[in-house]
């Protein structure tokens, strides 16, 4: 470890550290930067500012990754869709940030995922040729972004036999081949946010969940501790609003047009032998697909929709039956044996915080047509709001937000360094492969997998799964309370692990979650 690298314990988040940090802020400490919102972008802004040597507090009314950042497709993608719609700069930015995550900052959490686009009678030869040209253009994006071929192999055409070998569940009748491509896939989007927040904490940021901003100004925020009800003021030299779809509730003048993306959850046994993700074209649409995403944990996700949302924003959006039916209908256009509604063991929906910068011309344009470019807005009081964008580009969004916040207040700081700053647990694939721990743990914890595994070695009961048919162990829950800031059952089951995505798995795992919280109730780990 270099002299400038934080000690391992500095990366720990837990209830005791939260209490201490809140008390110091209540006593009058002023921070350089206050970040409101601890999704990927907010946590990224906290890391960006802290790694520049600034003092930082970052708060969230709920938990890490409570909002949009846990409802994604778990893809770190290169922006091919944006290239097809002539958003070249957005596509290039996505490809660059994909390479940063896969090769520098989070190679333990992001892996190369193959995808197959089956060529069927629903895909004309002309459209197949256009799709193949698009995949080649995507590979040029990879080259322009400087991502190595060893990280992401190039696209190629598959025969019908090769396509069926990769995806045995496809309907063979009429299948005349497939298009193979590669993109980045996260082990878990919420775990990425947790790693970002913990890395920020390692650089001195105060990461405070269950801390609600009641009002914000350019010099701080009135906040309420949601665990005690106590209100206090956090003083700051500059403030960043990174609350996503809730951004317009804190700052006037922000116009959002949220879009709902729904995913289904299937057991892997429903699509046996699936070795790659699938791109299934939506009939009558150009450049729109339903994705089939094997997760490696006995589950497969199917998504995603892109529907405008009107009315109040829900804390936890509910997937409507119309979305579920749409996804099943498109999925079954490509399968030999149809997936039925009863095969769906879970579903989730997230809201994208798209900036509504269009004129109210009554055109009725769809949210799928709104650019995914992010925007940084500075209010008259100097509060900087970051909206738009996507999970893949969280780091660049955070950098732009911090740059704007510092400029708004004339604060001098070192330049951004997060493009080369590894997240906690990161290591080269060869280093990770040399660790004598279960592969599943490596994909979720990186170098920390050894410490998680050691908890089970010390107490054999902690090796037990939290429920029948679930791979998550009791040791992982204990680790989450001790080092990852989990404060209640939902933090454990719905975000630090994703057991809660399937209600039938969540119910029997509750007892293990409560046991982990009770066992760690008096933990004093942390600096």
Contacts of 23 (CB under 8 A, 6+ apart): none
Are the C-beta atoms of 206 and 25 separated by less than 8 Å? yes
What's the pLDDT score for residue 223? 98
Tokens of 38: 């601890």
Are 52 and 417 in contact by the 8 Å Cβ rule? The answer is yes
Phi, psi of 248 (to 5 degrees): -75, -10
- In this prediction, residue 368 carries a pLDDT of 47
| 3-class SS of residue 369 | helix
Q: Confirm whether pTM is higher than 0.75.
A: yes
pLDDT digits (tens, 9 = 90+) for 331-383: 999 999 999 999 999 999 999 988 876 534 343 444 444 456 899 999 999 99
Query: Is residue 59 within 8 Å of residue 234, measured between CB atoms?
Result: yes
User: What distance in Å separates the CA atoms of residue 289 and residue 306, rounded to the nearest whole number?
Assistant: 11
Tokens for 228? 């005690």
CA atoms within 13 A on the CB side of 244: 28
Regions in the chain scoring below 50 on pLDDT: 1-3, 359-370, 524-527
99-128 tens-digit pLDDT? 999 999 999 999 999 999 999 988 888 888
The C-alpha torsion from 64 through 98 and 330 to 327, rounded to 10°, is 0
Contacts of 126 (CB under 8 A, 6+ apart): none
Residues 12, 197: Cα–Cα separation, whole Å: 10
Give how far the C-alpha of residue 115 lies from the chain's centroid of Cα atoms, to the nearest Å: 20
């Amino acid at each position: 470890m270099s002299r400038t690298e934080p000690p391992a314990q500095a990366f720990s988040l837990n209830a005791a550290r939260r209490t201490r940090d809140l008390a110091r802020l209540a006593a009058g400490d002023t921070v350089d930067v206050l970040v409101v919102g601890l999704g990927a972008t907010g946590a990224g802004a906290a890391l960006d500012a802290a790694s520049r040597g600034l003092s930082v507090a970052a708060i969230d009314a709920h938990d890490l990754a409570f909002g949009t950042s846990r409802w994604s497709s778990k893809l770190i993608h290169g922006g091919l869709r944006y290239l097809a719609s002539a958003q070249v700069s957005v596509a290039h930015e996505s490809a660059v940030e994909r390479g940063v995550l896969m090769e520098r900052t989070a190679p333990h959490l992001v892996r190369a995922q193959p995808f197959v686009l089956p060529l069927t009678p629903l895909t004309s030869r002309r459209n197949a040729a256009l799709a193949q040209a698009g995949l080649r253009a995507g590979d040029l994006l990879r080259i322009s972004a400087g991502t190595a071929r060893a990280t992401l192999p190039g696209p190629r055409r598959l025969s019908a036999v090769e396509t069926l070998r990769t995806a045995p569940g496809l309907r063979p009748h009429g299948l005349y081949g497939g298009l193979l491509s590669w993109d980045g896939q996260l082990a878990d989007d919420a775990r990425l946010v947790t790693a970002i927040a913990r890395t920020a904490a390692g650089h001195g940021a105060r990461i405070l969940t269950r801390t609600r901003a009641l009002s914000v100004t350019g010099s701080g925020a009135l906040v309420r501790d949601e665990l005690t009800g106590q209100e206090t003021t956090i003083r700051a030299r500059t403030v960043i609003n990174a609350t996503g779809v809730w951004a317009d509730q804190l700052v006037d003048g922000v116009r959002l047009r949220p879009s709902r993306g729904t995913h289904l959850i299937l057991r892997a046994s429903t699509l046996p032998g699936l070795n790659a993700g699938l791109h299934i074209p939506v009939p009558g649409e150009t450049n729109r697909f339903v994705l089939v995403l094997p997760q490696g944990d006995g589950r497969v996700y199917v998504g995603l929709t892109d529907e405008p949302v009107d009315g109040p924003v829900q804390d936890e959006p509910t997937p409507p039956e119309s979305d579920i039916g749409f996804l099943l209908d498109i999925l079954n256009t490509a399968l030999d044996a149809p997936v039925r509604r009863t095969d769906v063991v879970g579903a989730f929906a997230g809201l994208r915080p798209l900036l509504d910068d269009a004129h109210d011309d009554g055109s009725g344009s769809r949210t799928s047509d709104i650019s995914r470019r992010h925007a940084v807005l500075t209010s008259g009081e100097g509060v900087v709001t970051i909206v738009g964008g996507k999970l893949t580009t969280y780091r660049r969004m955070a950098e732009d937000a911090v740059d704007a916040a510092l400029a708004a207040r004339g604060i001098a700081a070192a330049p951004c360094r997060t493009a080369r700053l590894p997240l906690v647990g990161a290591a080269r694939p060869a280093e990770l492969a040399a660790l004598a721990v279960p592969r599943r743990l490596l994909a979720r914890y990186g170098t920390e997998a050894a410490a998680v595994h050691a908890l089970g070695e010390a107490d054999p009961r902690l090796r037990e799964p939290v429920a029948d048919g679930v791979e998550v162990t009791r040791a992982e829950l204990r680790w989450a309370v001790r080092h990852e800031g989990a404060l209640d059952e939902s933090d454990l089951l719905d975000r630090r692990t994703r057991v809660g995505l399937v209600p039938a798995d969540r119910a029997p795992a509750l007892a293990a979650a409560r046991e982990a919280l009770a066992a760690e109730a008096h933990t004093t780990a942390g600096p």
